[in-house]
Amino acid sequence: MIATLRGRIIDRSMNGTVIVETAGVGYEVTMHTRASERLGTSDEILLYVHHHIREDAQSLYAFASQLERNTFRILIATHGVGPALAMAILQTHEPASLVDLVGRGDITALTLVPGVGRKTAERLIVELRSRLELPALENPSADGDGSVLTEVRGALTQLGYDPSEIVSATSAIPEGADTASALRHALGVLGGRHA
């Protein structure tokens, strides 16, 4: 089994497929685009790899950290989650964000993942609660905060922001903020990023 690759990126495609050359051999690996865009082509890189074997194919999924690889493995061990959906989840939510939203039971945040509807999100939250290491929640019944987040995420989606941008912009919303100030805060974060 291949566990890591150290080498240089010699080619990448728009769908997240990257070729990493190691000791004269090019390995085709799949990464989520957020991670592959962070990697330079001239520097030597170290990737953590999950070697996925099926009857008809072998695939390599690569990650910048062991935490991401471990989260990917937890996701694909979950009923109904294959590698493509696990990569889509990690494209939208970083591991810490995923743990946070599962702990809060934030179905709306999980439905930001392409291909995940409300019923699938509900099932995933139930199943992932027992698999992910969740921090103790101080206030698990914060319905007000949950509805503010839901409204702000819905507004940002309608404005055309990418799901990963929405998650990072709303993760820093101050506690107890009303919808209007939370939306202003998120737009300020996004505005600073695109400036």
Do 153 and 172 have their domain in common? yes
Do 40 and 82 have their domain in common? no
In a domain, 136, yes or no: no
The boundaries of the domain holding residue 74 are 67-129
Of the residues 13, 42, 64, the one at which a domain ends: 64
Residue whose tokens read 């939510």: 93
In a domain, 138, yes or no: no
| 139 burial type by CB count under 10 A (0-12 exposed, 13-18 middle, 19+ buried) | exposed
Q: How many angstroms separate the CA atoms of 57 and 54, rounded? A: 5
Q: What percent of the chain stands above pLDDT 70? A: 90
Q: 49 has which bridge partners?
A: 62
Who's near 60: CB < 8 A, 6+ residues apart? Answer: 2, 5, 27, 28, 29, 30, 49, 50, 51, 52
What pLDDT score was predicted for residue 141? 35
What pLDDT score was predicted for residue 1? 82
**Which of 184 and 172 is assigned the larger pLDDT?**
184
In a domain, 134, yes or no: no
Q: Encoding tokens for residue 126?
A: 């139930």
- Domains identified in the chain, total number: 3
Task: Identify the CATH number of the domain in which residue 24 sits.
Answer: 2.40.50.140
Do 81 and 124 have their domain in common? yes
Do 89 and 118 have their domain in common? yes
Do 73 and 50 have their domain in common? no
Cα angle: 144, vertex 164, 4; to 5 degrees: 125
Do 25 and 75 have their domain in common? no
Task: Identify the CATH number of the domain in which residue 98 sits.
Answer: 1.10.150.20
Do 22 and 47 have their domain in common? yes
| Mean pLDDT value of segment 80-86 | 93
Do 166 and 125 have their domain in common? no
Tens-place pLDDT, residues 118-145:
999 999 988 888 787 654 433 333 333 4
Tens-place pLDDT, residues 9-38:
888 888 788 999 999 999 999 998 888 777
What pLDDT score was predicted for residue 37? 78
Confidence of residue 163 (pLDDT cuts 50, 70, 90): confident
Tens-place pLDDT, residues 36-67:
777 776 778 899 999 999 888 899 999 988 98
In a domain, 118, yes or no: yes
- Whether pLDDT at 89 is above 80: yes
